[in-house]
Amino acid sequence: MSMAALLHRHLFGIKVDGREPIWYIDDQTVLYPAGHNTVIFNLEQRIQRFLPGTDKTEEITAIAVSPNKKFVAVAEKSDKGVITVFDLHSLKRRRLLTATDSLSKEFVSLAFSPDSKLLMAQGGAPDWSLTIWTWEKAKFVATIKTAASPNSAIYQCTFCPTDNNLICVTGNGVFKQLKLVDSNLKVLPNALNKREPQNYLCHTWLSEERVVMGTDTGDLLVVDSLELKAFIPRSPSDSNSIEAIVGFSKGIVTGSDDGSIAIYDKTDEKELYKRTKVFRIDNNAVKIRHLAVSHTEEQLVMATDNNQLYQFNLTNADIMKPDETNFDFLATSFHSGQITGVDTCVRKPLVATCGLDKSVRMWNYVDKTLELTKYFNEEAHSLALHPSGLHLLVGFSDKMRLLNVVMDDMRPFKEFAIKACRECKFSHGGHMFAAVNGNTINVFATYTCENLGNLRGHNGKVRSVCWSADDTKIVSCGMDGAVYEWNLKDFKRVGESVLKSCNYTCAVCTPDGKTSFAVGSDKKIKEITDSNIVKEYDLPGAVLCQVVLSHSGRMLFTATDTGSIQSWKFPLTNEVQDHQCHSRAVARMCMTHDDAHLFTVGEDGVLLMLDVRDKEIRAAKRDKELLPFSEEILVTKSDLEEKTALTTDLKLKVDELQLHNDYQLRLKDMNHQDKIKELTDKLTAEIEAEKARHEALLAEKNDMEMEYEERIKNMEERHLLSSQQMEAQYQHKIMAEVERYQQLLEEKELLNERWDEQNSLLVESHERLVQELTDEYEYKLQEEQLALQRVRDEKDDLLRELEETRRQVEEDADQEIEELKDKYEVKLSAEREQHLRLKGENGIMRKKFHAQLKEIEDGKDDNKQLMARQKELYHQISMLEKEIAGLKKEIRERDETIGDKEKRIYDLKKKNQELEKFKFVLDYKIKELKKQIEPRELEIADMKHQIKEMDQELERYHKTNSNLELTISDNKLKLEGQQQEILMQRGKCNDMGNKLKRYHNDLHAVIQYITEPKQLKEAVKALYQKHVQEPPQGAQVEQDIQKEYNRQRDYLEKTVESLKKKLSKDMDLHKTDSTRIMHENVALIKEINELRREIKALKQGGMRPPGGGATGKETPASGRATSSRMGVDPNKEIDMQREEIRRLRNRVDELEGVDRTRPTSREKLPPMDGFAEGPERIGTPGAP
């Protein structure tokens, strides 16, 4: 008989729902809760140590590490709430604390004092009591209720980092600063009384008097010396709450509920802190629960709401970009929800898990690493790993999938139509697997995926399936209280045990398949042999939900719904050993093939690896030769080819880069050698110059030493003579002052007698004032002590500076000694004079003492007035600061407006310069064009003649068009008459239709009397009288009207047809005429352009003499131009020609407006050289 021992080896997961769940022990070690344990994780060695939970407690609610990093306090939920203090070096329990007077079952926050001797705990609902202990002696110190009502929630309590007696507490609508005085907690004045209460989610101390708080609205509040010093509002685009806050040397870091951290740097502005950068976790926009900074302030670690730990490099935050991937997992990623399945294989050190976070993960339990992770679209409810480790069976909500585990992925191979499979299991040989489908067990072949058979018999859902060692039998249990044994040769049931009062959740069988063990809702473990319950044992206080049997058949383990694991003595007895492992119910358990490790997963999202220790089994295992784990993996051909191609490309790139680097290195070597040579030459020359300078300075120094020695001797002689003279002079003065002192002493005695009388009267009033002032100045004294501490720190800094200064002064003392002698001799004489003066002032100061007492009382009144005045001035300052901010903003806006206007003025000036240049060019063109007016006047005369001919032709067209318009107007009148006739006929038809409807209705009413002749006769008469008001006429009239209508319609159609033909003929005629005129215009324009080119050529060739040209001939154009110049004044003629052209253009426009039926020309006339297009620009040829 043996009982195996269980030892915690490694934990994958974290519990983040407590306050401050992660702490740095040193730069490479972190501490955090996981399951029902506290994990101490070394990041370099990847080794975990564990602090176990306390028996009969539910879960860990808060953790705190002492400032000296020697102790850790762990708060656990129970009937009264329990706090356990551990030694971090020995991992032993040092003290167990509990609050007996508290009604709360838990502590929501813990904190050590700066000297690590006091421990403070904030209790939960309903009383929210804050309790302080001297934890090493378990001595109660003080307690106070921090929440105003049970509905208020307290989130955090902390000690001041430099004062054991100063405490801060924050919560929903609660901010309190407390002071521990003589075992009592005194509430200090609240700096936020004037503000509306907010939900203060977190806070941190930045100095001995400064606290920074974060709210659910994303605002930061800075309280310093019990006053609100700064309010940092959230960004308008950011509405996230601040869930965590931590301080460091450069400022603070905050964590929000959208997975982002913000860094605030210290500033000298009013806000004290300014947000500089914001970083977001990629694809993980969840709440950040806690932040922790390492001792060197190089790393920032954060815990998120989905059970993940991230690491951020704080030293490189200034150069990081927010859009880059800046966060790394602290160790590996964990499951973010309940884990529903776990299994191991034989040939590889792998354990597979799946959960409700829709992920399937492969863990290496030798290296303690996460090998593979894949996310799916559906939740996974069960999982089975093939003994080879190369195949994975997962039951999803929609289907069950068989996956191949390749090198870096899990690829689906086959899908089975089994929804929400809660249990699946490979056989020990791996050639078959069983999957639960409701109350049926389906058995499939692994490599052909053929359904070998179905096991039916359960009346409820099947919860567990177990294969025998030879894979010939299956043991199953279900919610119907039945445990069945199945034979896979004929797929029939060979054994059964039914207990209706128990809902079984798990069952296993021994390697020989003869005995089964089952657990269920009755809190008992049952041993079943030959369908009979042989033994059953009860575990009080918890429901057994899982059971696992080692492959050797010598160790039995169970798990409960509270998260504990039991090791039973085997063969089964009532001896059991309990281990606290998970904080929630255990969902699945499995063991490795060599029975060395036990893996458990729970609803808390934690995978726990336990070492199994049993001497008998270890000895038996040594006798067997254990095979090493295989290193083979599955790789698809496409992946292998892609990797090979990528490797080839990378090798080529490496070769190219190596050649390039060699070349660059040779170039750099050559450059460095040249630079070294230049620097060597330069430094050699400088050294020679410095040597010469040193020799010159050395000679100058010797000369100055001899000169100053002579001066010192002369000054000593003069000083000796002056000191003797001053001693004689001051001796005489001292004697006179002594006599005066005796007189003043007598006066002093008289005054003392008077003062004693007055003093007796003042003592009584003084005592009353002292009592009042004692209370008033007690608080001020505390502030002065804090200020004194700061002054002492400044004094230490100044002393260090003084030591440095003194060292430097001593080095220069030889050079300054003579100057100091003269200086101190002068000071000595001044001190002697001051000594005598102070003796005389002594009596005066005593007189002033009484006056000062009176002034103190007046000063108190003045102080009160000044305090009131100070408040008014602070209010005025705040108002003026707001006005200044508004004015600065207005000034910035006006500066921007002025800048825009100045820029616009500059653009307009530049544009004006360009327009002036353009104007100059246009003026020059106008001058040139005026010179060309005379030859164009001849062209205008020719055009007038052509226009006259065109006017005559247009008049003919106009007459023809007027005749056609008369014809068309007649036809339109006839057409309108016909349309009116048609409208009348339509109205008549509508009236007749309405009458016909009424007649149908009346006729229907008459038909109702068809069986009663008399009533029928009366109804017919009434129908006739109603509808026949006039006697009917013959049908001949209607036929005549129809014939006349048809005749007129035929006449009109023929008339319209003839008009259409006539109109088309006229349009063809006009088209030919317009085409002919257009061709004539084109010919004329060409001729004008030719004449213009000839004139231009003549001008370029030079003007002929008056007697004739070289050829003796004169062109017609030149002759006409000469005659026109000789006849009349050219300017008048030009004006007349322009007026005539304008009149003709207007006439053409009128004719074109009348002749609307004239078709437009499809071709445009070519433009005339030197004339702009459009009628409005004819008068200014060549105008731009």
| DSSP per-residue codes, 795-806 | HHHHHHHHHHHH
Q: Return the pLDDT at 237.
A: 65
Cβ density class 45-79: b for 16+ within 10 Å, e for less: eeebebbbbbeebbbbbbbbbbeebebbbbbbbbe
> In the structure, what pLDDT confidence band is assigned to residue 300 with cuts at 50, 70 and 90?
very high
3-state SS class at 217? coil
> For residues 136 and 338, what is the distance between their CA atoms, to the nearest angstrom?
39
> For residues 546 and 603, what is the distance between their CA atoms, to the nearest angstrom?
13
> In the structure, what pLDDT confidence band is assigned to residue 1130 with cuts at 50, 70 and 90?
low
Question: Which residues neighbour 945 within 8 Å (Cβ) at sequence distance 6 or greater?
Answer: none
Q: For residue 637, which phi and psi values (nearest 5 degrees)?
A: -65, -40
3-state SS class at 216? coil
Tokens of 581: 């492992």
| pTM for the structure as a whole | 0.58
Average pLDDT on 294-305 reads 90
Of 948, 945, 946, 936, nearest to 1134 (Cα)?
A: 936
> In the structure, what pLDDT confidence band is assigned to residue 1116 with cuts at 50, 70 and 90?
very low
Average pLDDT on 329-337 reads 89
3-state SS class at 277? strand
Average pLDDT on 544-552 reads 91
Do residues 82 and 110 make contact, with C-beta atoms less than 8 angstroms apart?
Answer: no
Average pLDDT on 91-115 reads 88
Compute and round to an integer the Cα radius of gyration of the chain.
Answer: 56
Q: Which residue has the tokens 């720190």?
A: 793
Q: What percent of the chain has pLDDT over 90?
A: 26
DSSP string, 847-902: HHHHHHHHHHHHHHHHHHHHHHHHHHHHHHHHHHHHHHHHHHHHHHHHHHHHHHHH
Q: Return the pLDDT at 169.
A: 94
Of 299, 356, 296, 349, nearest to 329 (Cα)?
A: 299
902 CB burial (10 A radius; 0-12, 13-18, 19+): exposed
Tokens of 1030: 């006039």
pLDDT digits (tens, 9 = 90+) for 995-1047: 888 888 888 888 888 878 878 888 888 888 887 766 555 444 457 777 777 88
Average pLDDT on 1071-1093 reads 80
Cβ density class 326-341: b for 16+ within 10 Å, e for less: bbeebbbbbbbbbbbb
Max distance between CA atoms of the chain, in angstroms, equals 174
DSSP 1134: H
Tokens of 462: 């099947």
920 CB burial (10 A radius; 0-12, 13-18, 19+): exposed
Do residues 370 and 362 make contact, with C-beta atoms less than 8 angstroms apart?
Answer: yes
Do residues 220 and 263 make contact, with C-beta atoms less than 8 angstroms apart?
Answer: no
Question: Which residues neighbour 956 within 8 Å (Cβ) at sequence distance 6 or greater?
Answer: none
> For residues 643 and 627, what is the distance between their CA atoms, to the nearest angstrom?
31
More reliable by pLDDT, 13 or 957: 13
Residue 1055 has pLDDT above 90, yes or no: no
Average pLDDT on 276-299 reads 88
Give how far the C-alpha of residue 489 lies from the chain's centroid of Cα atoms, to the nearest Å.
61
Residue 1111 has pLDDT above 60, yes or no: no
- Would you tell me the crossing angle of helices 933-1007 and 1116-1127 to the nearest 10 degrees? 100
Q: For residue 462, which phi and psi values (nearest 5 degrees)?
A: -80, 130
> For residues 871 and 735, what is the distance between their CA atoms, to the nearest angstrom?
57
Of 100, 87, 111, 103, nearest to 38 (Cα)?
A: 87
Mean pLDDT in the chain? 83
Of 404, 308, 332, 367, nearest to 16 (Cα)?
A: 308
Omega within 30 of 0 (cis) for the link into 1166: no
Tokens of 118: 């006091």
> For residues 486 and 468, what is the distance between their CA atoms, to the nearest angstrom?
10
Q: Return the pLDDT at 745.
A: 83
pLDDT digits (tens, 9 = 90+) for 721-749: 888 888 888 788 888 888 888 888 888 88
DSSP count for the chain of H helices, then E strands: 7, 56
Rounded-to-5 percentages of helix, strand, coil across the chain: 40, 30, 30
Strand partners, 597: 611
Please report, as a single letter, which amino acid is at residue 332. T
DSSP string, 278-310: EEE-TT----EEEEEE-TTS-EEEEEETTS-EE
Q: Indicate the helix (H) or strand (E) that contains 966.
A: helix 933-1007
Q: Which residue has the tokens 């003042």?
A: 762
Residue 1126 has pLDDT above 80, yes or no: no
Average pLDDT on 25-38 reads 91
Residue 1122 has pLDDT above 60, yes or no: no
Tokens of 653: 């790139």
Tokens of 1102: 């030079």
**Most confident stretch, 332-346, 1026-1040, 1144-1158:** 332-346
Q: For residue 611, which phi and psi values (nearest 5 degrees)?
A: -85, 135
> In the structure, what pLDDT confidence band is assigned to residue 335 with cuts at 50, 70 and 90?
very high
pLDDT digits (tens, 9 = 90+) for 394-425: 999 889 999 999 888 899 999 999 988 999 99
Q: Return the pLDDT at 574.
A: 82
Q: Return the pLDDT at 790.
A: 81
Question: Which residues neighbour 227 within 8 Å (Cβ) at sequence distance 6 or greater?
Answer: 191
CA angle, 768 then 772 then 777, to 5°? 140
- In 365-407 the beta strands, taken as DSSP E runs, fall at 369-375, 380-385, 391-396, 400-405
> In the structure, what pLDDT confidence band is assigned to residue 1119 with cuts at 50, 70 and 90?
very low
Tokens of 385: 């790993």
Do residues 209 and 217 make contact, with C-beta atoms less than 8 angstroms apart?
Answer: no
Pairing of strands 210-215, 200-205: antiparallel
Q: Indicate the helix (H) or strand (E) that contains 1150.
A: helix 1130-1154
pLDDT digits (tens, 9 = 90+) for 161-181: 998 889 999 998 899 999 998
> For residues 157 and 1053, what is the distance between their CA atoms, to the nearest angstrom?
106
Give how far the C-alpha of residue 664 lies from the chain's centroid of Cα atoms, to the nearest Å.
43
Do residues 21 and 35 make contact, with C-beta atoms less than 8 angstroms apart?
Answer: no
Residue 563 has pLDDT above 70, yes or no: yes
> For residues 1141 and 946, what is the distance between their CA atoms, to the nearest angstrom?
12
Average pLDDT on 325-346 reads 89
Residue 1118 has pLDDT above 70, yes or no: no
Q: What percent of the chain has pLDDT over 70?
A: 92
> In the structure, what pLDDT confidence band is assigned to residue 1153 with cuts at 50, 70 and 90?
low
pLDDT digits (tens, 9 = 90+) for 638-691: 888 888 888 889 999 998 999 889 888 988 889 898 889 888 888 889 898 888
Give the range among 189-193, 426-430, 614-618 with minimum mean pLDDT. 614-618
Average pLDDT on 1156-1160 reads 44
